[in-house]
Amino acid sequence: MGFANVQKVYEPTKSGTPIVVEAPEDLLGWFQQHPYLKTSDPEPVTIWGVEGKQFDVILGNLPEDYIGGSAMGLG
């Protein structure tokens, strides 16, 4: 289990060249629409009285010529 307070994200690019932008308000939607990530269906969850969504994320298919470290910029 992990928790994140995301402030910035890397916009997906075909070349892998990083473009850093402010994190969107709909971060779940950003993960779901990311072309290189696959997400499970979000499920409602409450932890210590705070409601949120729980979902899994895995790396999908990167373009053959992708040169970046990782799709989310974490590598």
DSSP string computed for 28-72: HHHHHH-TTEEEPPPEEEEETTEEEEE--EEE-PPPTT--SS-TT
Render pLDDT for 26-71 as a digit per residue (tens, 0 to 9). Answer: 999 999 998 888 999 999 999 889 898 999 999 887 777 766 655 4
**What's the CA gap between 52 and 15, in Å, rounded?**
33
pTM of the shown model: 0.70
| 32 contact partners, CB below 8 Å, separation of at least 6 | 39
**What's the CA gap between 8 and 72, in Å, rounded?**
10
Predicted pLDDT at 49:
93
Predicted pLDDT at 43:
96
